[in-house]
Structure 1
Amino acid sequence: MVVAGGFGVGKTTFVRAVSEITPLQTEALMTRASEETDDLTATPDKLTTTVAMDFGRITLDNDLVLYVFGTPGQQRFWFMWDDLVRGAIGAIVLADTRRLTDCFPALDYFESCGLPYIVAVNHFEGSELFEAEDVREALTVPPHVPVVIMDARKRYSVVETLLAMVAHALDATPE
């Protein structure tokens, strides 16, 4: 399972919240060099960034173990996405309603490669809460693609999101 989205949308938090193993994280300190390319307006307290991937594992059932790969959010790391999606059953595009345009590249990528995906709106404290259908309309997400509201900090919310993605992948993939 691949978790993608814009910079600072909660991909690392998502993987950390759900993984039953110590997650592999490739976090690096933010530097002054990245100030011109990484917009910290919505995440002023962010001190680190993913430079390769996040990796975790969760057992959903006796015969269903998911390996969860979080992509780096910055454009300069997008070259790695092709490797991360190889063999994936689906993708979750995390969206932040304060910066919806940041998830367009991930939406375009998964749409173009044909990988089943869902949109998960990560609700941040202090941000306005929108209905899933309003987000669908704003992002022009097709009707067959699920849009869910979730909180990447809460394990149960992340598990529900993963289950929604698994169900969608099963529906979207011919037997």
Structure 2
Amino acid sequence: MNSARSDPPPDHVPPGEHDERLDGPRVALKILVAGGFGVGKTTLVGAVSEIRPLRTEEALTDLGAAVDDLDGVAAKTTTTVAMDFGRITLRDGVAIYLFGTPGQERFWFMWNELSRGALGAVVLADTRRLMASFASIDYFEQKGTPFVVAVNCFDDADRYEPPEIRTALDIDPHVPVLLCDARRNGSAKEVLVALVEHALRIAGAAASRPPSEPGPRPWPAPARAEG
């Protein structure tokens, strides 16, 4: 008979000791996933969430035809009417909570509440309808919220390089622009990592600024020309 002692499983907690995992995360980060109607926000949240994502999708009907612009996304049959929610738990007690914002203009009033306490935002873009990204970009620029622009590369969409996207959307040089596939877990996670790194750089620069040196004056975002 083998008398060798076997080690307890990794998740074993000795009797009388407290499992800190039951207390919830020690650090919680809130990230928004924004963008125009039909750019893939719900898909991205679902691709990375470790839990079954909360979705508030409703079917598109003829009653909304006058307000929902389906140009370029004619195959879309549902729309988010409140938010999407997902979660990612990292090591050392860090959890990321993802909130997908509704894309249609009639739901924009919810953005202020959803953006409270957010570390930053991912603005998803679709090259078939880039103009739909302007509202999200303007919103986060005016609030001073760190954000990255992630172009969701749809199968039937024209492909452009990040410098071309930056020029078309009139994005500041320091804002990261990435290409992604919102359906793929690895691709979506790369976007989130880029956002966290960008937000940390901004926070580090602000912390290193001398107290007597004022920060940049927040100017309203210039109106972008349509077309």
Superposed pair shares fold, TM > 0.5:
yes
The reply on whether 1:165 has 2:195 as its aligned counterpart is: yes
Deviations 1:125-147 (A, max 9, x none): 02111101100010010001000
Q: Which of the residues 56, 80, 94 maps onto 1:50?
A: 80
Deviations 1:98-137 (A, max 9, x none): 1111000000000000000010000000211110110001
For structure 1, list consecutive stretches of 5 or more residues without a partner in the other structure: none
The change in CA–CA distance for 1:157 and 1:60 in structure 2 (over 3 A counts) is farther
Aligned counterpart, 1:13: 43
Which protein shows a greater Rg? 2
Aligned counterpart, 1:101: 131
The reply on whether 1:128 has 2:152 as its aligned counterpart is: no
Deviations 1:53-85 (A, max 9, x none): 000001243343110000000000000000101
The reply on whether 1:36 has 2:95 as its aligned counterpart is: no
Q: Secondary structure at the match of 1:28?
A: strand
Q: Secondary structure at the match of 2:46?
A: helix
Aligned counterpart, 1:141: 171
For structure 2, list consecutive stretches of 5 or more residues without a partner in the other structure: 1-30, 208-227
Q: TM-score, normalised by structure 1?
A: 0.97
The change in CA–CA distance for 1:134 and 1:61 in structure 2 (over 3 A counts) is farther
The runs of at least 4 aligned residues of structure 1 exceeding 2 Å deviation read 59-64
How many residues are aligned here? 175
| Structure that is richer in strand per residue | 1
Between the aligned partners of 1:11 and 1:61, the Cα distance in structure 2 is 25
Return the structure number with greater relative CO, CA threshold 8 A, min gap 6.
1
Identity of aligned residues (%): 56
Between the aligned partners of 1:114 and 1:60, the Cα distance in structure 2 is 26
The reply on whether 1:113 has 2:143 as its aligned counterpart is: yes
Q: Considering only aligned residues, what root-mean-square deviation do their CA atoms show, in Å?
A: 0.9
